[in-house]
Amino acid sequence: MIRNPILPGFHPDPSILRVGEDYYVATSTFEWMPGVRLHHSRDLVHWRPLGGALTEPRLLDLTGTPDSGGVWAPCLSYADGVFYLVFTNVAGYAGGFWDVPNYVVTATSVEGPWSDPVVLHARGFDPSLFHDEDGRSWLLSNDLDWRPGHHWSAGIIAQEFDRATGKLLGEPVTIFSGTPALYTEGPHLYRRDGWYYLLTAEGGTGWDHQVTVARSRTLLGPYQVDPQTPLVSAAREPRLPLQKAGHGSLVDTPAGEWYLAYLVGRPLTERDECVLGRETALAPVNWTTDGWPRIEGARPALTVPAPDLAPHPWPAEPATDDFDAPVLGPQWSTLRRPFHADWASLHARPGHLRLHGGRSPSSKFDTSLVARRVTAAKCGFAASVEADPRSPQQLAGITAFYNTRNWHYAYLTWREGLGRCLELLSCDRGRLHRPPHTPVPVPPTGPVHLRADLDLPDLRFSWSLDGQDWQRLGSALDARILSDEHAIEASPEGVFQIWGFTGAFVGLWSHDLSGNAMPADFAHATYTA
């Protein structure tokens, strides 16, 4: 059986691809580096992380990117021995305008190296590439309308893409205007038995999300909507454990079995916060005699039959990262800037991750945060930190993090009258506050162990000097602030100013607001779920 979600935690907008016997999924990463997270499978049951595709400023610049901006809905495709990756780097979305340049990079291996990005257009987001049987390729995306009084989603456009030059040809053509579900986006195009099948995401990426299917005999339409649409949705079934089902892409096996990769969310209770973010699930697809794809019940399921493929499990990821590898593991991400020796190192002190203190927790520039996705409602994260703070301007510790406006932080710092000590700080929709606790003095030198235990909706921090005798630091904190639902903020007129599209992280954080880049050494980072 396939157990959903196949990619737990923040893994939205899946683009699934088969090349021979290998299956790949690319997912959105927004403001996190490396950009475009990739996973690999041989049986659609077991998946291993490959890390991110866009690993350096040459490929992706997220400097100053707004919360939930950055890389939206990438599409991974393959033609004539070359992988194509198209993606949007969203630079702005507030106030009614959209800054959404789209790019394409190529590689002969899915693990790179990837070519320099070529800019395509900025008319809309969620780009995808379709490679037709006649050798021509087409770029699809949604079409944005910024004008007041107009719905922002103006349908799906297609434009020919020249693979030889990486350039667009001709002018874009609107091929699909969407359905009354609105918010038409996330297009993916397929050809089967003489039909072009267009999959789109509709209904918004919340409770009313869905996958819509339409088909045409010609690529540029007109497209007829499946009379039994949606292909999958949980909009009318709020009690299902998997919600927000939508934004899907199709893949087939060598034996002709079809599957849909799509996003889901797992609310804490009915229509409650989805702290784990939007995740990736799979569903088997059957085709009717008159040529329409169908999913049983048209709703998401926790378990579904696996394809007839030989099982191919991967070695389990060790619970503890001792930071003794030459490069950072694929489970880790960094915020807005790539892992680089000018602020982070695995070599300065063997067996440790050294982070030089970056800018403030609210900054969208030069943040020193190395974090990993929260993948389960009950999990723990622990690490030791060693630093020599000399003022309250210097902090280093562990965090449960959503974005610059929503996080909890247990950290080592310095306080008048106490010297080196442990404290707590939280931020809720941009409002800083100190949770009730007593600062804990610790020895002036040596490592301090910190732990975060999530049992949603509660988060508890603990500390220890030896990693065994743990003591609580403060009381339970509300982890529901680490969710899409909580993060979204709109103006009084209903215009969204801050989106929430990611998910909860736990990580290692270091700040030096004095600008002296205090080094903090982290060791034995352990994640258990």
Residues 480 and 515 occupy one common structural domain: yes
CATH of the domain at 252: 2.115.10.20
Q: What is the mean pLDDT of residues 133-150?
A: 95
pLDDT, residue 496, reads 74
| Cα–Cα distance measured from residue 193 to residue 374, given in angstroms and rounded to the nearest whole number | 42
pLDDT per position as a tens digit, 249-297 = 999 999 999 999 999 999 999 999 999 999 999 999 999 999 999 999 9
Tell me which of 304, 336, 360 is where a domain ends. Answer: 304
Whole-angstrom Cα Rg for the chain = 23
Question: Do 221 and 368 fall into the same domain?
Answer: no
Q: Categorize the per-residue pLDDT at 510 as very low, low, confident or very high, splitting at 50, 70 and 90.
A: very high
Q: In the prediction, which pLDDT does 482 show?
A: 98
- Answer whether residue 307 shows pLDDT above 90: yes
In a domain, 313, yes or no: no
Q: Are residues 330 and 293 in the same domain?
A: no
Q: Which of 146-155, 197-206, 350-359 has the lowest average pLDDT?
A: 146-155
Shared domain check, 345 and 289:
no
Q: What's residue 490's pLDDT?
A: 83
Rounded CA-CA distance 357/232 in Å is 46
Instruction: Based on the residue annotation, tell me whether 13 is a catalytic residue of this protein.
Output: yes
Based on the domain organization, do 289 and 392 belong to the same domain? Answer: no
Residue 311 lies in a domain: no
pTM: 0.97
What is the structure's pLDDT at 222? 97
Q: Which residue has the tokens 């016997």?
A: 21
- The residue among 432, 396, 388 whose CA lies nearest residue 509 is 396
Residue 494 has pLDDT above 90, yes or no: no
Mean pLDDT on 200-228: 97
- Strand order in 102-107's β-sheet? 70-79, 82-90, 102-107, 118-119
Residue 100 to residue 232: CA distance in whole angstroms: 28
Residue 310 lies in a domain: no
**CA distance linking residue 523 with residue 447, whole number of Å:** 9
B/e letters for 229-243, b = 16+ CB within 10 Å, e = fewer, are bbbbbbbeeeebebb
Pair 114, 195: CB distance under 8 Å: no
Q: What is the CATH number of the domain that holds 434?
A: 2.60.120.200
* The pLDDT value given to residue 493: 67
| Rounded Cα distance, 416 and 399, in Å | 24
The predicted pLDDT at position 492 comes to: 76
Is the model's pLDDT at 94 over the cut of 90? no
Q: How far apart are CA 292 and CA 420, in angstroms?
A: 66
Does some domain include residue 34? yes
In a domain, 124, yes or no: yes
**Mean pLDDT across the stretch 431-437?**
96
Which of the four pLDDT bands, split at 50, 70 and 90, describes residue 487? very high
Catalytic residue among 13, 31, 43, 273: 13
d(CA 252, CA 44): 11
Q: 334 and 480 in one domain?
A: yes
Per-residue pLDDT at 95 exceeds 90: no
Q: In this structure, are residues 33 and 73 in contact, taking their beta carbons and an 8 Å threshold?
A: no
Q: Are residues 104 and 145 in the same domain?
A: yes
- To the query of whether residue 61 is one of the catalytic residues in this protein, the response is no
Give per-residue pLDDT as tens, 330-355: 999 999 999 999 999 999 999 999 99
Pair 90, 121 in one domain: yes
- H-run or E-run covering 522: strand 519-528
190 and 250 housed in the same domain: yes
- For the chain, the domain total comes to 2
What integer best gives the mean pLDDT of the chain?
97
Kindly state the helix (H) or strand (E) to which residue 485 belongs, with its residue range.
helix 484-487
What integer pLDDT is reported at residue 201 of this predicted model?
Answer: 98
277 with 374, same domain?
no
- φ and ψ of 269, to 5 deg: -140, -175
First to last CA, the chain: 21
Answer with the one of 304, 337, 366 that is the final residue of a domain.
304
Range of the domain at 238: 2-304
Domain presence at residue 435: yes
Whether residue 307 has a cis bond before it, omega within 30° of 0: no
pLDDT digit string (tens) for 383-394?
A: 999 999 999 999
pLDDT band per the 50, 70, 90 thresholds, residue 499: very high
Which residue among 272, 304, 336 closes a domain? 304
The residue from 61, 126, 143, 185 that is catalytic is: 185
Same domain, 392 and 289: no
Task: Give percent of the chain with pLDDT exceeding 70.
Answer: 99
- Is residue 315 situated within a structural domain? no
What tokens appear for 510 in the block? Answer: 């270091």
| Co-location of 164 and 74 in the same domain | yes
